[in-house]
Structure 1
Amino acid sequence: MLRGLEIRDMLIIERLELAFHPGLNVLTGETGAGKSILLDALGFVLGWRGRADLVRQGAQTGEVTAWFDLDEAHPARAVLREAGLPESDELLLRRVNTADGRKTAWVNDRRASGEVLRALSEVLLELHGQHDDRGLLNTRGHRDILDSFGGHAPLLQDTRAGWAGLRAAEKALRAAEEAIDAVRAEEDFLRHAVSELDKLDPQPGEEETLDSQRRMMQASEKIAGDVGRAQAALGYEGAEGALSDALRWLEGVADRAEGQLEEPIAALGRALNELGDAASGVERCLDVLTFNPAELESCEERLFAIRGLARKHGVEPDALADFADSLRARLAQLDDGDADIERLQADWRVAEQEFATAADALSAARRAAAERLDTAVRAELAPLKMERAVFTTQISDDTPGPEGQDAVAFTVATNPGAPAGPLNKIASGGELSRFLLALKVCLTEGQQGITMIFDEIDRGVGGATADAVGRRLAALAEDGQVLVVTHSPQVAALGAHHWRVEKQVEDGMTTSTVVPLLPEERVDEIARMLSGDRITPEARSAAQALLSG
């Protein structure tokens, strides 16, 4: 519930503080006195998008503060928790606008974004009028309104999930078909390339091994002679024989050398072992260097074939095996493609059925909600002197999407037998006001803690009809809080609390203020609304009659 509003240096308001109450609060005043400024200021502190030039001329900043009472179950508390803002029984909103357009907001003395303000406004206030900006006159918003009235959030969630699943299945199927088409376009190349790679069967590291063998064989003729001579020098006719003789001679006299030859004999034994290892290594080298010229030719042919295939496919020689695997995988994709397509088509059919089931359930719920809404609106139209009018929620087929498969439009016929049409094209100004009032009453039924503001909702009606509108607003305010900006004396007389908006000019500066009216002052204000600037005794008497009910 809105408890207060403080405005500083906004438009033509220098400073103003208002305290609102439960029940029906009415604001009256002459045209141009500044009633719309109050709504502009309230919309500003709630983050609504509106006019930019709000700061009063000559001021550096403009500021609006609004405070609300919140009960324990008020939905605004959930918004505060989600935004990480402190909760209390009182919600304090403050927003400052500088002359150059910069805006800063606080919620319970914590900095907050305009997005948070707007989220709070959704659960704090409902603004209604002939130029309603919440979608009643815009058919694009009628489906959302009907879903809100019907409580279709779970069904909408299922439908959106079904649509997302269907779109994902379609995307997967389309991607698989495109991939198979691409593979099929190069099938001949793939099969030839795989056959060529399979025939060669290159292995990782093979290119380096072949290159080393080739270089060894090419160098063998140059080094084989020296290696052979080294083998002879190390053999029995050379170093091995000499060392063996030396060892034999020393061992023959060692027992008479008093231990002096033990170390030399051991060293010679080690030398003979090392010499044997060296000779074995040289022998193995000679075995390698001894090759058939055909081996060199074969080595070179395979080496050049591997390198040529690598250049052909633009990969490193060691990557040929992995490249071959990738080509085989693409061929397998083609060979297995029909089975994959069938599986994905089956997935798509399942997703299509799931979406259709969810969308059909939502459509059925919408049709049922439309009947309830039509019945509720008809019940509201009767006390508003429109018992012969017909309100119909039309549901037709629409292109399927995440919100289902229905188009929704609110239509009216002001007289039986007359053609139905959109609200803003069929209804006159006064009729439109009453249709909007009836519809808004139905849509907000059951909402707790919301302050409803009606901006000249009674425009275009008078007499008994205006009285009917006022009584419906008063009844609506019995369980909550309603603020009405009105030019109708019948509506103003039914208010529990009454303010008059006044405009003053002092020293060439225009300002607007709001004055709470005492009972006797209300008589004069309603008399003014009845008769104009000159209040006659008859007008005052009529005003007293209205106030007495």
Structure 2
Amino acid sequence: MLQELSIQNLALIEKLQLNFNKGFSSLTGETGAGKSILLDALGLTLGDRSDSSLVRHNTPRAEVSAQFDIKQLPHVQAWLVDQELDDDGDCYLRRTVTSEGRSKAYINGRPIPSSLLKSLGSMLIDIHGQHEHQSLLSNHKQLGLLDAYAVHPELIKTCRQDYQAWQVLNRQLDTLLTNQADFQSKFELLSFQNSEFDDVQPIQEEFEELSEEQSQLSHANEIILACENAYEAIEGSSGAADLVNQAIHAIESIVSYSPSLQVTIEQLNSALIEAQEAAAEIHKHSSDIELDPNQLSRIEERLALLFGLAKKYNLEPETLVEKHQQLKDDLTSLTQSDASLETLKSEIDQAWSTFQNSGSALSKSRRKAAEKLSKIVTEGMHSLGMPNGLFEAQISALESVNASGLDKVAFHVTANKGQPLQPLAKVASGGELSRISLAIQVATAEVTSLPTLIFDEVDVGIGGAIAEVVGKKMQQLGAHKQILSITHLAQVASHGHTHLQIEKRTENELTFTQVIELDEAARIEELARMMGGLTISQQTLEHAKEMFSSAQQFNS
């Protein structure tokens, strides 16, 4: 539940800290006192869009923070842990907005995107606005309310996932059918290209090896001559090997006098061995080269064939083998598309059946909830001064299914006996629509898992005994949840477990909004003001006292 709301430099509020109690708290004040500012402040902490116009004039920034008790909300605790935002069970939200419009958001002191505030806020508070009945005219909103009332999130999740899986397969089928439409032209092109590669039959690393051999054969005479000269320089008379041998003999003749030269002898021996091995390799390389013009011609013809194919397909010659394999794979895939089509159609049929099953399970749950909701809202209409009213949440099949399932939900009502049920959108009387809306909101609020419900002047258009019923209903809800109601009706406000007065004052030519928690005497005076206007008579005070006393009997 909401424990504390702190506000600084927001609109008419310079600095304000509010502590909220359990149960039903009524919030009242004169028109223009700033009741909506509190909702704006709370909305900011819950992730609503920021606006620089909310920042108090001549101040650099506004700041709003809210503290929540989540001890009885394990799903909220788990969410904070998952997001790595937990802090020993605390839930502290903060939002700042600068006069330039820049906004920052925090959960338990950690900076986060405002979208996370929205996700968390949706688990903490539900705000029912005074224009809620307008959105209730939407079938989409009606479906959402029924689903919330039914409390079947897993069925909704499964149905949505099954629908999406079915849609993915349908998109694959569309792609496959599009490809098949061009089957003949693609098949002919791939077949022709593959046959060209089949004619050439490029081999892995063939191009590199042939290039090296072609270079060697085209310079065979130069290579042989250079090898012969190198061999002669090493192994010929007075060659390197002979000279090194002479050096070894010369050093060996004196090594007994200079033992340290033994290392030099070993070095010379190593050099002699390496030189002789190099000479042998040179001789072998020279012997392996054949002066074969025909072989060179064959290699050049093969290289020209590879170069020509690579140039035609704008490839590097080294990638011809890879391209050949790709053509084979594409041709195989294309020729197997008929088999793929049949397999895909079978998978689509299975996915559709799965979606139908999950959609039917969701429909069954919705129908059960619709029957219960219809009964409770009808009873609510009776208690709100519509004794012949009838409400029915009707479910029919969608012409075109979607991720929400197979159903279309439409709220139908009648306010008078003998009159047929008709869609909620066709209810002519604004007062009747407002009362029906309130009955629906109260009915769905009773089953919601949200700990805090805020009613923002939802009692507009209601008065007299009906207003008293509204107050009793909110008082009853307050026994199980935290209820905050911004109201202009004394009959509703009198039923609050606590009463907060929102007041606007002017000081030093500056305007401020403040909120005061009223004691019993102040509550009676505020109720009298709400009933009698600026001039409060003793009779009005007595009436207010009697109203307050009667309403508070239900709190005991």
Q: Give the TM-score band, short-chain normalised.
A: 0.7 to 0.9
Q: 1:45 to 1:199 in 2, by over 3 A?
A: closer
Corresponding residue for 1:157? 157
Deviation at residue 72 of structure 1 after TM alignment: 4.2
Corresponding residue for 1:405? 406
* SS of aligned partner of 1:63: strand
* SS of aligned partner of 1:58: coil
Letter in 2 for 1:340: S
Deviation at residue 113 of structure 1 after TM alignment: 3.8
Corresponding residue for 2:244? none
Q: 1:314 to 1:502 in 2, by over 3 A?
A: closer
- Cα separation, 2, equivalents of 1:521 and 1:133: 33
1:486 pairs with 2:487: yes
Corresponding residue for 1:264? none
Q: 1:53 to 1:214 in 2, by over 3 A?
A: closer
Corresponding residue for 2:259? none
Bigger radius of gyration among the two: 1
* SS of aligned partner of 1:97: strand
1:548 pairs with 2:553: no
Matches within 5 A, 1:254-403: 288-289=290-291, 304-317=304-317, 319-396=319-396, 397-403=398-404
Q: Which sections of structure 2, spanning at least 5 residues, go unmatched? A: 226-277, 551-556
* SS of aligned partner of 1:49: coil
* SS of aligned partner of 1:361: helix
Q: 1:325 to 1:375 in 2, by over 3 A?
A: same
Corresponding residue for 1:525? 526
Corresponding residue for 1:263? none
Corresponding residue for 2:230? none
* SS of aligned partner of 1:53: helix
Corresponding residue for 1:438? 439
Corresponding residue for 2:146? 146
Q: 1:424 to 1:523 in 2, by over 3 A?
A: farther
Deviation at residue 418 of structure 1 after TM alignment: 4.0
Q: 1:38 to 1:188 in 2, by over 3 A?
A: closer
Identify which range, 110-119 or 460-469, moves more after superposition. Answer: 110-119
- Cα separation, 1, equivalents of 2:84 and 2:5: 24
- Cα separation, 2, equivalents of 1:157 and 1:388: 38
Check the 8 A contact 2:374/2:391 in 1, yes or no.
yes
Identity %: 35
Deviation at residue 185 of structure 1 after TM alignment: 0.6
Deviation at residue 90 of structure 1 after TM alignment: 5.3
Deviation at residue 133 of structure 1 after TM alignment: 9.5
- Cα separation, 2, equivalents of 1:170 and 1:443: 37
- Cα separation, 1, equivalents of 2:284 and 2:546: 132
Identify which range, 137-146 or 29-38, moves more after superposition. Answer: 137-146
Deviation at residue 424 of structure 1 after TM alignment: 5.7
Deviation at residue 485 of structure 1 after TM alignment: 1.5
Corresponding residue for 2:256? none
Letter in 1 for 2:142: H
- Cα separation, 2, equivalents of 1:103 and 1:219: 76
Deviations 1:304-323 (A, max 9, x none): 54544444444455544444
Letter in 2 for 1:364: K
- Cα separation, 2, equivalents of 1:146 and 1:18: 34
Deviations 1:162-187 (A, max 9, x none): 22322232233333344444452143
Q: 1:88 to 1:210 in 2, by over 3 A?
A: closer
- Cα separation, 2, equivalents of 1:527 and 1:415: 35
Check the 8 A contact 1:40/1:50 in 2, yes or no.
no
Corresponding residue for 2:123? 123
Q: Which sections of structure 1, spanning at least 5 residues, go unmatched? A: 227-273
Identify which range, 341-350 or 47-56, moves more after superposition. Answer: 47-56
- Cα separation, 2, equivalents of 1:209 and 1:518: 99
Deviations 1:54-74 (A, max 9, x none): 222233333333333332445
Matches within 5 A, 1:90-109: 91-109=91-109
Corresponding residue for 2:263? none
Corresponding residue for 1:257? none
Deviation at residue 467 of structure 1 after TM alignment: 1.2
Deviations 1:366-397 (A, max 9, x none): 22222222122123222222232222223331
Deviations 1:397-443 (A, max 9, x none): 15223222333333433324446555465263433332232222222
* SS of aligned partner of 1:100: coil
1:24 pairs with 2:24: yes
- Cα separation, 2, equivalents of 1:51 and 1:109: 22
Letter in 1 for 2:333: Q
1:463 pairs with 2:464: yes
Deviations 1:320-369 (A, max 9, x none): 44444333333333333322222222222222222222223222322222
- Cα separation, 2, equivalents of 1:199 and 1:41: 77
Check the 8 A contact 1:203/1:318 in 2, yes or no.
no
Corresponding residue for 1:56? 56
Check the 8 A contact 1:414/1:427 in 2, yes or no.
no
* SS of aligned partner of 1:548: helix
Corresponding residue for 1:260? none
* SS of aligned partner of 1:170: helix
- Cα separation, 2, equivalents of 1:59 and 1:213: 83
Check the 8 A contact 1:74/1:448 in 2, yes or no.
no
- Cα separation, 2, equivalents of 1:546 and 1:538: 12
Corresponding residue for 1:239? none
Check the 8 A contact 2:126/2:450 in 1, yes or no.
no
- Cα separation, 1, equivalents of 2:286 and 2:457: 112
Check the 8 A contact 1:430/1:458 in 2, yes or no.
no
- Cα separation, 2, equivalents of 1:71 and 1:333: 59
Q: 1:127 to 1:209 in 2, by over 3 A?
A: closer
Q: 1:45 to 1:164 in 2, by over 3 A?
A: closer
Q: 1:513 to 1:314 in 2, by over 3 A?
A: closer
* SS of aligned partner of 1:95: strand
Deviation at residue 92 of structure 1 after TM alignment: 3.4
Q: 1:21 to 1:193 in 2, by over 3 A?
A: closer
Deviation at residue 36 of structure 1 after TM alignment: 1.9
1:42 pairs with 2:38: no
1:5 pairs with 2:32: no
Could you tell me the TM-score, scaled by structure 2's length?
Answer: 0.78
1:503 pairs with 2:504: yes
Letter in 1 for 2:365: A
Deviation at residue 146 of structure 1 after TM alignment: 1.9
- Cα separation, 2, equivalents of 1:499 and 1:184: 78
Deviation at residue 513 of structure 1 after TM alignment: 2.1
Corresponding residue for 1:415? 416
Matches within 5 A, 1:163-202: 163-202=163-202
Q: 1:79 to 1:434 in 2, by over 3 A?
A: farther
- Cα separation, 2, equivalents of 1:57 and 1:208: 78
Deviations 1:520-542 (A, max 9, x none): 23222222222222222322222
Check the 8 A contact 1:27/1:499 in 2, yes or no.
yes
Q: 1:115 to 1:190 in 2, by over 3 A?
A: closer
Corresponding residue for 2:69? 69
Q: CA RMSD in A?
A: 3.9
Q: 1:209 to 1:369 in 2, by over 3 A?
A: same
- Cα separation, 2, equivalents of 1:526 and 1:290: 118
Deviations 1:177-201 (A, max 9, x none): 4444445214334434444543454
Letter in 1 for 2:98: T
- Cα separation, 2, equivalents of 1:45 and 1:277: 83
